[in-house]
A and B are shown apart, each in its own frame.
Chain A
Amino acid sequence: MSEQAPVAETISPTEEALELLQKRFKKTVRRDDREGYGGIVVDASRLEKVAAAIHDDLGYDYLSSATAVDYLGQGDHVEMVYHAYRIAGGPALVFKAQTPRDEAVLPTLTGVWPGVDFQEREAWDLMGIRFDGHPNLKRILMWEGFHGHPLRKDWHEPFFEEELKPFGSRWPDGHVQRSEEHNPYGKNVQYPAEWSPEAYESPAEPAIYDNINLGVDVRTDLATDRVIVSLGPQHPSTHGVFRMVVRLDGETIEGLEPVMGYLHRNHEKIGERNTFIQNMPYTDRLDYICSLSNNLGYAISIEQLMALGARYEPPTYRAEVIRVLMAELTRIVNHVWAIGFLLNDLGAFFTPMMYAVIERELILDFFEATTGSRMMCNYMRFGGVAADIPARIRGVANLINDRVRDMNTMDYLHSLIHERLPRAIDQLDEYLTTSEIMTNRCMGVGVLTRDDAIAYSAAGPVLRASGVPYDVRRAEPYSIYPDLDFDVAVRYHGDVYDRYLVRLDELRQSIRILKQVLPLLNDTDGQPVFTGRGVYSPRVPAGESYGRVENPKGELGFYVVSEGKQNPRRYHVRAPSFINLTALEQMCKGHKVADVVAILGSIDIVLGETDR
């Protein structure tokens, strides 16, 4: 059923790549020698060729992340940063290309890695880099007609207060003002000069329709049997405010374009205003089902930077054990949720969902007692976790009708992990796996081939259901995963059914990990759980880092650039829910409308993370 991905090799990818690339491309490829940085810088003119060599000759076939950084005041260029991996495992090859701010153009890499599609659109939308040759270069998170590129350092929102937090108006003369007064309705958007919202006709809609290339004019030609249907953004089966514009031939999908951004709040701009520590609770709100593993990803990327500095102590073993305990429980929470919701999408309204959620509530009880919140946990810190797990899970009566429970935490965890959860997973298996409703609706639907899955940068269960045993926990291990015994779940058909089975397998593997974690918790009892400095605004050494973890939905990465100050210069989130959607059209073509809903459900997205 499963096989283990090989463990990382130890030659530095940068050296290896430089040797080959400099021979071939001479001076257009150079080492990135800024302090705290790594990887190579490629001349924009040769980017496409070099990228092809990196893909074909060096074998970096999986492009995990592509994002842009604005170096205003530090060379005045914008820089695209790419993280490429080998699907067999190992560290990243980081390569960059720079282009002037006022005339930012780079060649597209969609021909090399199709998975870069949405990420380049995002870089165009938020950072204003035009990608020559991109097949569909439109805004993706903001609306067409939006003024400016909001991640540019000199872009300010209409109710701009100050560049960086903490804001001076809060203390010592903090005479309170409601933010709504700064930001009155109607004046909270910025328009280009000589532009009026009343006279404006959005190019977005025609652009979408053009792109999926109907060949019929929706306004006049509706009599044909080809139609365009807009699914969402309100439909409950789109898992949030998400929209899909599909071109149908009868009931069969011919083309599909996802439309997103309805929940966009420019998480990354907020993150660059924030101090490093202030970002932690914001990461809870990305994939709000999995706040604890988001925390872990962010903590890891900042700890990588802190390790560059002099005074850094890595987290204790106990802290890491607790982190893994939390991350794996989160995986269970997410997967039961995803499976429950998949059944919702298939039309089995809420009964399977509710059965799946019973166990989730029990895990959240433990989260609440440990972190103080069921979903917005804000629990990890740079150098450990916020607090040790409490001795008892105990309520304190405070409100009218409060009912108190009192349970020993370790006993609770023990029976949860050894009895309750395995039983529930077996039951879920019995309930759904052989059910004809499942098999008929899911088998052979939404197939993503192995090669497509890699090319489209799919991650997590979507990738592993297509026969690729790639799991960051094994491919580039972090925390204490090297000490733990588990298999990487993998299935080979790449359809909705296999994605369901992969999640089921992963649930069982998580239980297996948790069973090993429990004795470790006992052994490390008494060790401190936090070794950082408990200051409210830690400084982080200058440099860049890319911390990534295997989140339940796929690879979650944080690309952070620090200048040695309180606030990051760049804070980028590689969101699995967002990038997994790149392959959605590929999966849906040729299937029926009702299948789209199931396919979307099987990718398992959360809009908080997709739209950021």
Chain B
Amino acid sequence: MYGLGIWRGLQVTLTHFVNTYLDDIKWGFRRHIHPDAFAERQSLAARGVFTVEYPDEKLAVPERFRFIPFLVVENYDHPDRPGYDWCTSCGICAKVCPPQCIWIVRGKHPDTGRPKPEPEAFFIDIDICMNCGYCAEFCPFDAIKMDHDYELASYDRTSAHIYDKQKLSKELRYWQSIAPTYAEQEADARGGWEHKDVLKQRDKAAKAAQAEVTDKTD
């Protein structure tokens, strides 16, 4: 019979419509307040059609989410090296960056002029960054990581969209808070929560001390 197909289709529409309102009833008309309602509405168990009501509710992003890199610095209350850059200005991230939006001025010793493992300046042009995550993937010192803060709208792109070192730097603590699992895995791989070089230095010192002790006992 002509029209039967449309009629069947409309039943599907009706089902979607009804299901969406059943959700309201299910949570006793407290679907915005009930602590479990959001997670269920945005899961496989959901029936009906739901959007995320941004900005009143936001979907928390997973740990691997990547949006504009930041530079890891030592916690500001670190006993020995507060706020110290983890970046050694090795330049790998600047070389691997596909749109070439990372600019690094390598640090120099003021007297000798020899390079030192510390960036003098570090810029990322966030208009150009394509959020690929390569810089974080290939940095040998875990010094650059992808951020989770995607709310970057600003009024003037010409002045506000080149991030310098100060704007890019965030404490190690921040990385631990947005990606706890990966921060811990990386620390395990390094052998501690400190920077790779610090750990190496400490290792060397410990070995030297050990050697001295053995020397003395000989």
Interface residues of A (CB under 8 A from B): 165-167, 169-176, 178-180, 274-275, 277-282, 351, 354-355, 358, 362, 365, 368-373, 376, 378, 386-387, 390, 393-407, 412, 415-416, 419-420, 427, 430-439, 534, 536-537
A-B contact pairs, 26 of them (CB 8 A): A170-B91, A173-B105, A174-B102, A175-B105, A176-B125, A281-B98, A355-B16, A365-B42, A368-B64, A369-B64, A372-B64, A373-B66, A395-B60, A396-B179, A398-B178, A399-B58, A399-B148, A401-B56, A403-B38, A419-B44, A427-B12, A430-B9, A433-B5, A435-B8, A435-B9, A537-B95
Partner of B61, one of A354, A368, A431: A368
Q: Number of contacting residues on B, CB 8 A? A: 64
Interface string of B60-104 (1 = CB under 8 A from A): 111111100000000000000000000001011011111010111
Given A355-B16, A386-B137, A412-B44, are A171 and B61 neighbors across the interface (CB < 8 Å)?
no
Q: Is the CB of B130 within 8 A of A376?
A: yes
Chain B residue with the shortest CB-CB distance to A174: B103
Partner of A430, one of B12, B94, B148: B12
* Contacting residues, chain B, for A437 (C-beta < 8 A): 5-6
CA distance A372 to B69 in the complex (A): 13
Among B2, B128, B131: residue with most chain A CB under 10 A: B131
CA distance A280 to B49 in the complex (A): 35
CA distance A408 to B38 in the complex (A): 17
Partner of A402, one of B60, B63, B125: B60
17 extra interface residue pairs, beta carbon distance < 8 Å, beyond A165-B100, A376-B131, A434-B5: A166-B94, A171-B95, A281-B98, A362-B44, A368-B62, A376-B132, A390-B62, A395-B61, A396-B62, A398-B60, A399-B149, A403-B59, A404-B60, A415-B44, A427-B12, A435-B8, A436-B3
Interface residues of B (CB under 8 A from A): 2-6, 8-9, 12-13, 16, 38-39, 42-44, 49, 55-66, 89, 91-92, 94-98, 100, 102-106, 115, 121, 123, 125, 128, 130-134, 137-138, 146, 148-149, 151, 158, 162, 177-180
* Contacting residues, chain B, for A282 (C-beta < 8 A): 98
CA distance A432 to B104 in the complex (A): 56
Among A354, A372, A436: residue with most chain B CB under 10 A: A372
* Contacting residues, chain B, for A436 (C-beta < 8 A): 2-3, 5-6
CA distance A277 to B94 in the complex (A): 14
Q: Is the CB of A434 within 8 A of B95?
A: no
Among A165, A351, A536: residue with most chain B CB under 10 A: A536
Given A165-B100, A436-B6, are A176 and B123 neighbors across the interface (CB < 8 Å)?
yes
Q: Is the CB of B12 within 8 A of A431?
A: yes
* Contacting residues, chain B, for A387 (C-beta < 8 A): 64
CA distance A115 to B180 in the complex (A): 53
Q: Is the CB of A394 within 8 A of B94?
A: no
Q: Is the CB of A355 within 8 A of B49?
A: yes
Given A405-B39, A536-B95, are A172 and B104 neighbors across the interface (CB < 8 Å)?
yes
Given A396-B179, A399-B58, are A176 and B162 neighbors across the interface (CB < 8 Å)?
yes
Chain B residue with the shortest CB-CB distance to A165: B100
